[in-house]
Structure 1
């Protein structure tokens, strides 16, 4: 009888150890707080109860979302919290189809004022955008009301989002604003090619943001870098379909802050409307944002329409707003110290390099080095076009020939 007794003691001890370890992790399962996971019930209050309980716990508490479908109305996961928070999402979160459920909210899932957060677990944020895309008039009207963003990181620090999917956002998938030390790593972002304004990740007023090893396929920019962004890294991103990787648009509003220190490297763009792009509005009022310290290198283009483009005559509307007197003035945004290095592949248009700078603030310090962009039609050479480039250098392989 000694062996069974030893075995029993071992099992009891092992179970006790597991319970202690479980307690030490401070796990807060949303189903313990009333989440139903049937895809129909509004589980928002259960999620907020679990979050608030975890937020008050020390150490590294985890809000756990098991597999299943959870219907979630707009929620704000607010800090500061006592410990380093984790949202471990294994299930699927589904946004409301009806915009009335947002009651004026501009975001669906909002992480606000948190210092220390990990979002992971293999799950999905399903924005259910197809029900609302036809209501989006922003591509046509400059004074539109934007649809809700799927995920907002607002005034946060030390945040990592990894191993999750953002699907079919109503507007932008992820927006990072007023934040520092944010990492987006191994994330999948998907929406159809014709879905309007479904930018993958938009960064604004933030610093030390890293987007790495991420796949983005949307109807707008895969990554967009807005005013006040500094020390941004985009690496290992696959982009397409979409509008490419963009700085801007800038210069639409007076007093915008500079964009400084962006490095885009080891990325692949396939079938996109643009490759790497800087876009600023015509006209504008001083003081205006400046753009400096940008590096685009080691990038592959696959049938991209505008592989390398600086567009300081940006105006996406066909209405009278693009013909307004102020819009006919040159851009006041100053672009300097921008490097394009080792960019190769296939251009879907004959003009593979277009550097259209401002007559009021010509581009300075541009560099083109080891550019090899061939036209999709064999036997036809690609071209470069430049306007208002005041200074720069070019070297190495240059296909098409440099216009600097």
Structure 2
């Protein structure tokens, strides 16, 4: 953790120094108008191209105002660190049929990226949520994500907001050493598939001191997520902080090193969660730790579910082949919105190993009686106060 703190401080120093010394490329210079209707895509691409070609630190500036923006890909590699400063609001086209790709604003193949400015990426997703039929249609069209970071290294994303994306708010793929700090996600509870920050095949991603309100997982970690820290995050509404779903595809990479600490989850469908598909492909997920979490009226505060099968789009009776090990749930407290406050339901084919449950205090005040817990195919190590008692019911 000391190394991660050092990296965070280094990135902040990089951001500070680059903002002082950087050459500024203001999109207004390239013809952008903050009138809410004039498309600034070409102006932004032109500003980015020049900033990226600069041999000294550069800044792309979008000043105050409301700017219409169609989909753009801001490509590297760049010759020096680049800061993207958004002071105003960017608005996506409301009609999802106007998009040709699955990303609205895409940053890719960049080493040394800072994003700041206090501005907002407004995906105008309300129209798209009603068109999302992925619950019934396995071949559904993928809607655009507000922000995509593809193969970005040494990045700091701070003090900006993503609002009402049509699909995932943020997707991170192939990142190394990337930090989100004081980052804001805002969408209503009924916004379908609007995961706050989804991470896959990335190493060293930190989500710090941020708030996420959305209609799906606040944070979701896909295969290949390694050394991920989620600290000081407030989540809700949403579906909690989740590892998975894992095991749906061939050749998924291991999940290793997940640290979720000092978070608050409010009114969410889930709290901290690990989920794998039944009838899954083989894989592993290990070294995952959830500690010092406050739950406030959360439906499933602690859940490890190796039979995750939404909308019956899987073979529910066939056990998962994802091997889960070295997991801890510690110092988790607050209130549950359901009687079964703790579920640790592992695969009968590959039972969980080295699971630790310690210092749990979750209260349920419903008519069924006090909070309880369920376990399957696991023999956890127990310590500290446990309310409810661990593995009160063993299920097959």
> Into which bin does the TM-score normalised by the smaller protein fall?
over 0.9
CA distance in 1, matches of 2:204, 2:160: 21
Matched, 1:400 2:388: yes
2:349 aligned residue:
360
1:93 aligned residue:
90
Q: Which ranges in structure 2 are unaligned for 5 or more consecutive residues?
A: 1-17
Q: Which ranges in structure 1 are unaligned for 5 or more consecutive residues?
A: 1-20
Tell me the TM-score normalized by structure 2: 0.92
Tell me the TM-score normalized by structure 1: 0.90
1:72 aligned residue:
69
* Contact preservation (8 Å) 1:157, 1:180: yes
CA distance in 1, matches of 2:293, 2:108: 34
* Contact preservation (8 Å) 2:339, 2:368: no
Structure 1 stretch 51-60 or stretch 336-345: which is displaced more?
51-60
| Structure 2 residue corresponding to 1:261, chosen from 247, 257, 260 | 257
Deviation at 1:146, TM superposition (A): 1.6
1:374 aligned residue:
363
* Contact preservation (8 Å) 1:72, 1:93: yes
* Contact preservation (8 Å) 2:19, 2:83: no
Deviation at 1:145, TM superposition (A): 1.8
2:134 aligned residue:
138
Deviation at 1:134, TM superposition (A): 0.8
C-alpha distance after superposition, 1:167-195 (max 9, x if no partner): 00000001100110110100110101000
2:8 aligned residue:
none
C-alpha distance after superposition, 1:237-292 (max 9, x if no partner): 0000000000000011121111000000000001000000001001023xx22110
Deviation at 1:142, TM superposition (A): 2.5
Structure 1 residues 48-127: aligned runs within 5 Å? 48-103=45-100, 105-127=101-123
Deviation at 1:78, TM superposition (A): 0.4
1:9 aligned residue:
none
Structure 1 388/132 Cα, relative in aligned 2: closer, same or farther at 3 Å?
same
* Contact preservation (8 Å) 1:141, 1:317: no
1:194 aligned residue:
190
Q: How many residues align?
A: 375
* Contact preservation (8 Å) 1:332, 1:358: yes
Give the aligned CA root-mean-square deviation in angstroms: 1.6
1:17 aligned residue:
none
Structure 1 stretch 139-148 or stretch 50-59: which is displaced more?
139-148
C-alpha distance after superposition, 1:176-216 (max 9, x if no partner): 00110110100110101000000000000001000000000
Aligned partner of residue 290 in structure 2, secondary structure: strand
2:303 aligned residue:
309
Deviation at 1:22, TM superposition (A): 10
* Contact preservation (8 Å) 1:374, 1:399: yes
2:12 aligned residue:
none
* Contact preservation (8 Å) 1:139, 1:196: no
2:143 aligned residue:
147
CA distance in 2, matches of 1:152, 1:219: 18
CA distance in 2, matches of 1:27, 1:38: 22
* Contact preservation (8 Å) 1:295, 1:338: yes
2:276 aligned residue:
280
Aligned partner of residue 29 in structure 2, secondary structure: helix
CA distance in 2, matches of 1:284, 1:100: 33
Deviation at 1:124, TM superposition (A): 0.3
Aligned partner of residue 80 in structure 1, secondary structure: coil
